[in-house]
Amino acid sequence: MVAVVHTPVLGEEVVQYLRVIPGGRYIDCTLGSGGHALSILRRSSPGGQLLGIDADPEAIELARAALPGGVTLVNANFAQLEIIASIHDFKPVDGILFDLGLSSMQLSESGRGFSFSHDAPLDMRFSPDQKLTAADIVNTYSESDLARLLFQYGEEPSSRRIARLIVRRRPIQTTQQLANLVREAVARRLGRIHPATRTFQALRIAVNQELDNLSAALRQTVGLLRTGGRLVVISYHSLEDRPVKQFLAQESRGCLCPPGRVVCVCGHSPTLKLITKKVVRPSEAEIARNPRGRSARLRAAERI
C-alpha cells in the first residue's frame, strides 16, 4: 500500500494544544492516514511514543505504511479506549487526540458510500465487522423511524418528506440513488450545501453509533491522562461538538448537584481545566488550502 499522509486539519494547533514534549506518550484515537500522528511523533522526538487507534482497517494499513516503526497501531473502536490502553500498557499518557472528521480516503477512495460525489454502495460502516449498513436502514426502517433518525442525527428539517419518498421508492442501494431522491424531496431548498448532506450524516452516525461511542470514549480519557496531560477534540458539526462541550464543562466544575441544593451530595471534584474558552477554528489560509476543514472546531482541556 502506498504511504500517503494528507495534511491534517488544524495540524499546528493540535501539537500546540496537546503541548507535545520530547519523550511524551500520546494516543491518537482517530488515526486516519496518520497526519496528526506523524506531527506528534516528530514533535515528541526523541523518545516519543504513540498509540494509534482506528475502527477502519484500511486506515490502519495506510498509517502503518506512513508512520515510522515502533508505533503501536490498533484496529478497534475508540469506545474501547481504556481496555486498549491497558492491553498495551499505555498509561498514563501526556495527551489524547480525537479528530472526528472523515478522512480523505473514506470520502473518495473507500467505495463504502460515505460521500455522494461518486456512486457507491450504501454501506457507511467504518469497519467491515459491523453488521448494520446504511442500506439496511434505508430499506427496512419504518417511515416514522427514518424521519426520526434524519431529524435527530442530521437535524434535517425535511426529514418527514424525505422518509416518505424513501419508503415509496425502495429498494435504494447506491449513494447516487439516495442523493437524487433527497434532492427531489427538498427541491425547494437548494443552496450552497448539497441537500443530501444532512441525510448522509444522519445515516453514517446511526450506522457507526458515533455519538454513543464518543460519549463513552470521552468518559475514559480522564483516567488515562497524567496530571498536566491534555485532551484535544476536533469536531465538525454541532451534534459532535455538543457532547464534547458538555463533557468538558462538567469535568471542569466541582459540585454537579441540582441548583438550589444547600449541601453537596454528589462529591464531584473537577478533573479538567479548560484550555480553550472558545472553539479554535482554522485560519482563512488553511481553509483555502483545505476546504473540507472549514467547519472544524477544536476544544482542549488539561488534567488536574
If you average pLDDT over residues 258-286, what whole number do you get? 89
pLDDT digits (tens, 9 = 90+) for 41-67: 999 999 999 999 999 999 999 899 999
Question: Is residue 76 within 8 Å of 84, Cβ to Cβ?
Answer: yes
Asked whether residue 103 carries a pLDDT value surpassing 80, the answer given is no
pLDDT band at 167 (very low <50, low <70, confident <90, very high): very high
Instruction: Please give the share of the chain, as a percent, with pLDDT higher than 70.
Output: 94
CA distance 178 to 123: 12
Among residues 8, 1, 16, the alpha carbon closest in space to that of 300 is found at 16
| Last residue of one domain, picked from the residues 208, 243, 264 | 208
Do 165 and 141 share a structural domain?
yes
Asked whether residue 100 carries a pLDDT value surpassing 90, the answer given is yes
Asked whether residue 277 carries a pLDDT value surpassing 70, the answer given is yes
266: in domain = yes
* pTM of the predicted protein model: 0.92
Q: Find the length of the chain.
A: 304
- What pLDDT does residue 161 have? 96
Instruction: Please give the share of the chain, as a percent, with pLDDT higher than 90.
Output: 80
| Last residue of one domain, picked from the residues 208, 240, 258 | 208
Q: Can you give the CATH number for the domain in which 75 is found?
A: 3.40.50.150
pLDDT band at 106 (very low <50, low <70, confident <90, very high): low
Question: Is residue 26 within 8 Å of 94, Cβ to Cβ?
Answer: yes
| Last residue of one domain, picked from the residues 173, 208, 243 | 208
Asked whether residue 239 carries a pLDDT value surpassing 70, the answer given is yes
If you average pLDDT over residues 263-292, what whole number do you get? 91
User: Can the peptide bond before residue 282 be classed as cis, meaning omega within 30 degrees of 0?
Assistant: no
Do 219 and 181 share a structural domain?
no
5: in domain = no
Do 122 and 83 share a structural domain?
no
107: in domain = no
Do 295 and 243 share a structural domain?
yes
Q: For 126-143, b where at least 16 C-beta lie within 10 A, e where not — what string? A: beeeeeebbbebbeebee
Q: Can you give the CATH number for the domain in which 151 is found?
A: 1.10.150.170
Among residues 182, 152, 177, 176, the alpha carbon closest in space to that of 164 is found at 182
- What pLDDT does residue 2 have? 46
pLDDT digits (tens, 9 = 90+) for 216-237: 999 999 999 999 999 999 999 9
Give the Å distances, CA to CA, from 178 to 95, 167, 293.
40, 11, 25
CA distance 122 to 204: 10
Question: Is residue 84 within 8 Å of 36, Cβ to Cβ?
Answer: no
Name the DSSP class of 254: S
Average pLDDT, the chain: 92
- What pLDDT does residue 110 have? 54
Asked whether residue 104 carries a pLDDT value surpassing 70, the answer given is no
Do 215 and 147 share a structural domain?
no
Name the DSSP class of 45: -
Amino acid letter, 95: G
Asked whether residue 107 carries a pLDDT value surpassing 60, the answer given is no
How many domains are there within the chain? Answer: 2
120: in domain = yes
61 Cβ neighbours under 8 A, 6+ residues apart = 1
